Copies of this chain bind each other. A is one copy, B any other.
Amino acid sequence: MSKQLLLLAGDFVEDYEIMVPFQALQAFGYTVHAVCPGKQKGQTVATAIHDFEGDQTYSEKRGHNFALNASFDQIRAEDYAGLIIPGGRAPEYLRLDAQVIAIVQHFFQADKPVAAICHGAQLLAAAKVLEGRTCSAYPACRPEVELAHGRYAEIAIDAAYTDGKLVTAPAWPAHPAWIAQFVAVLGARVSL
């Protein structure tokens, strides 16, 4: 199986949640292709800074422009060993795209590793792949996980949860655990 991973990006993806897995997984040695429907390699997606600054929910500021390194309409899900779904405000609208849904479903049907974080669970719910599975998600997305017949894992904000090949986490503070569990599911071994 290939060492290529696919990352589903969109405008206003959370800035950390796209760049940290994109770069960390490359540092491990994987090839990671970041794509967005309707955009080509070299184009950018706008990112959002989601942070907690004293309000009842996260604030949003404008982040970096993230440059895609592959073209959505030229990739084939079959060529990838695993899928990464960052959070932020991108999953909300990406779930309306039939090809995006088909890509998500491919990885579950093929029993390949999938890592989703934060609002990434919105894509899993819309793809109807959560039935019978336990996953974490941004806590405010719990109702969506449950409407989609998934079991919501109540874990710490910096923890991750692995159910079979599905690795999920509540938000970017969980990146270290989430990435470590994902590379483990992908079969990597690290000795320090």
Question: Closest approach, in angstroms, between the C-beta of A185 and any C-beta of chain B?
Answer: 12
Residues of chain B with a CB closer than 8 A to A147's CB: 125-126, 144, 147-148
Question: Closest approach, in angstroms, between the C-beta of A171 and any C-beta of chain B?
Answer: 12
Report, as a range, how many residues of chain A touch the other chain: 35 or more
By the criterion CB–CB under 8 Å, are B191 and A55 in contact? no
Q: 1/0 per position for A37-78, CB-CB distance to B under 8 A?
A: 110000001101101010111011111110000000000000
A57 and B95 in contact (CB under 8 A), knowing A27-B176, A63-B63, A192-B187?
Answer: no
A33 part of interface (Cβ distance < 8 Å): no
By the criterion CB–CB under 8 Å, are B26 and A23 in contact? no
Give complex CA distance A137, B5 in Å: 30
A57 and B10 in contact (CB under 8 A), knowing A96-B140, A190-B29, A192-B186?
Answer: yes
Interface SS, A side = mixed
Question: Closest approach, in angstroms, between the C-beta of A109 and any C-beta of chain B?
Answer: 19
Residues of chain B with a CB closer than 8 A to A49's CB: 15, 49, 62-64
Residues of chain B with a CB closer than 8 A to A20's CB: 19-20, 23-24
By the criterion CB–CB under 8 Å, are B27 and A57 in contact? no
Residues of chain B with a CB closer than 8 A to A59's CB: 12, 46
A26, A45, A177: residue with the most chain B Cβ atoms closer than 10 Å: A26
A3 and B179 in contact (CB under 8 A), knowing A49-B49, A92-B140?
Answer: no
**Contact partner, A179, options B19, B23, B142, Cβ 8 Å:** B23
6 contacts between A and B (CB under 8 A): A23-B24, A48-B60, A49-B49, A57-B93, A61-B62, A186-B192
